[in-house]
Amino acid sequence: MNYVPGTASLIDDIDKKHLVLLRDGRTLIGFLRSIDQFANLVFHQTVERIHVGKKFGDIPRGIFIVRGENVVLLGEIDVDKPCDTLLQQVSIEEILEEQRLQQQAKQETEKVKMQVLKDRGLSIPKADNLDEY
């Protein structure tokens, strides 16, 4: 029931399973229990899902309160829809290990890139520094 027709509201999403992507890159899945005017979200039975390649792992987190400004996107999960079988669920340890490796590889390539640029006298500022303006 849309309380305010013609507008978008999170009210209708309450008590439904959602997936939220945060600005730091984390993916949380949980039941959206409460909202407020800033779109701060209260998640229940939250699970943090880490994806590395074709594998993913779930870490149960309990109750999460997400500050609205940190949300990139939020979407309802259709529980009736059949699950994608392309992704393979693995244990938490494994996925964390995979993530670590992935991060490591990324850092190394980044390092090499920066070095190459530096040698040429160029520099690309990191994205997180751009937030300050």
Partner 1 sequence: MRLAACKAARLPSDMSRTQGERCLPLSLDEDCTLEEEDEGLIEEEDEIDQFNDDTFGAGAIDDDWQEEHKRLAELDERGGLGGGLGLGGGSIGGESDLGGAGGDSSTRLPSSAVHLPMPSSLPSLKFTSSSSGLPPSDVEDRGGGGGDLAESLARFILDADPAIAGVGAAERPGPSPGSSGSSLSVLQGLERSRVLPQPSSIPHHTQPHQHPHHPQHQLPPGPSTSGLPPGPPPSSMLSYQQQQHLLRRGTASMGQMNSHSIWENSMGFGPVSVTPGLVTHMEDSPLMSIIKEVGLPKRPPPGRSDEGQDLSERVPPPRSSSPVIGSPPVRAVPIGTPPKQPISHNLNHQVAGFPRGGPAPPLLPGGGGFRPFFGGPPPPHGHRMGPPPPHGPPNHTPPIRHNTTHLHPQHRRMLTQRMQNRGGDRGRTAGDRRSRDPYSNLMTQKEKEWVTKIQMMQLQSTDPYLDDYYYQKEHTTKLITPQVAKVEHTYRPVQFAGSLGKLTVSSVNNPRKMIDAVVTSRTDDEEKREKQVWNKRRQILYTVEKMYSLLLEVQDFEKRFVQAPEEDREALLEQHKTNTVQLCNSLREKEWDDRVSDEQCVMIMSVRKGKRLISRLLPLLPSPQAAAVVMAIARNLPALAKKDKQDQVLCWLVEPASAVIQSLSSSALTDLLQELQGNEGQLATVLHNKEKGCKAPTLTVNSWTTIDVTRELLSVPSSSLSPPLFTPPNLLSLLSRYVDRQRLELLQEKLQISALSR
Comparing CA positions, the residue from 22, 18, 21, 48 lying closest to residue 34 is: 18
Question: Shortest Cβ distance from residue 31 to partner 1 (Å)?
Answer: 7
The CB-of-87 to partner 1 minimum distance in angstroms stands at 20
CA 47/CA 19 separation, integer angstroms: 9
133 alpha carbon, distance to own chain's centre: 24
Binding footprint of partner 1 on the chain (CB under 8 A): 3-4, 7, 9, 11, 14-15, 31, 33-37, 42, 44-45, 60, 62, 79
Which residue number, 35 or 114, has a Cβ lying nearer to partner 1? 35
Six-digit token string for 27: 């993916």
Q: How far is the CB of 84 from partner 1 (least distance, A)?
A: 21
In which element (H, E) is residue 55 found? strand 55-66
